[in-house]
Amino acid sequence: MTSIDPREAASALSDINEIARRVRQSTIYHLASLMLILWGALTFAGYLVTWLSPRSAGYAWVAVYLAGIAGSIAISVSNRLRTGVRTLDYRMLAAFLLFIAFGMFCGRLGHFGPRQMGTFWPIYFMLIYTVAGLWVGRAFVAIGLGIIALTLAGYFLIGEFDLWMAFVNGGGLILGGLWMRRS
């Protein structure tokens, strides 16, 4: 039996920690990519309905949120069956619902018009992606800040805002999800 010196042991432990970090990040990115693509497609559809039929916008966004929550639960259950790791529990669902409720409260408090609400929600959601990215990976930060910047540019510079947001927010989430699949 051979022994290794403390320097070799420290190097081996460092390698193991780096591999574990990469596997954890890869797992997070895989699950997040599925969620981003789901929510991106639904968000794109929500903005498209809002642009084509503004009177139906309220119903469309309720449908987007319900389908998104149901889809997120389905992705989580599928992931748990595949990996044995629970990724979405009741606390996460409660946190998401509290997040939505707080956003609705802020929206009512601010007396936003449709364009302001169309700006508020993407920035509000992308703030969470950006903050989460500080812990789980730079891709979240890049996606969040990119969509925030394009949302603000559209708010101040673009006339057909809902159509712009379909591509910026919905398309941005889809592209971000596809990018994360490669990371």
The pLDDT assigned to 129 comes to 87
Structure tokens at 128: 């969470």
Q: What is the mean pLDDT of residues 69-83?
A: 87
Look at 8 and 143; give whichever has higher pLDDT. 143
Q: What is the DSSP string of 96-120?
A: HHHHHHHHHHHHHHHT--HHHHHHH
Compute the radius of gyration of the chain from its Cα atoms.
20
Encode pLDDT of 114-153 as tens digits: 889 889 999 999 999 899 889 888 888 999 999 999 999 9
Can you give the length of the chain in residues? 183
Q: Given a cut of 70, is residue 45 above it in pLDDT?
A: yes
Q: Given a cut of 80, is residue 66 above it in pLDDT?
A: yes
Q: Given a cut of 70, is residue 1 above it in pLDDT?
A: no
> pTM for the full model?
0.81
Look at 120 and 87; give whichever has higher pLDDT. 120
| CA triple 33-13-136, angle to 5 deg | 20
* Residue 120: closest CA among 160, 158, 154, 85: 154
The pLDDT assigned to 183 comes to 63
Rounded distance between C-alpha atoms, residue 136 and residue 139, angstroms? 9
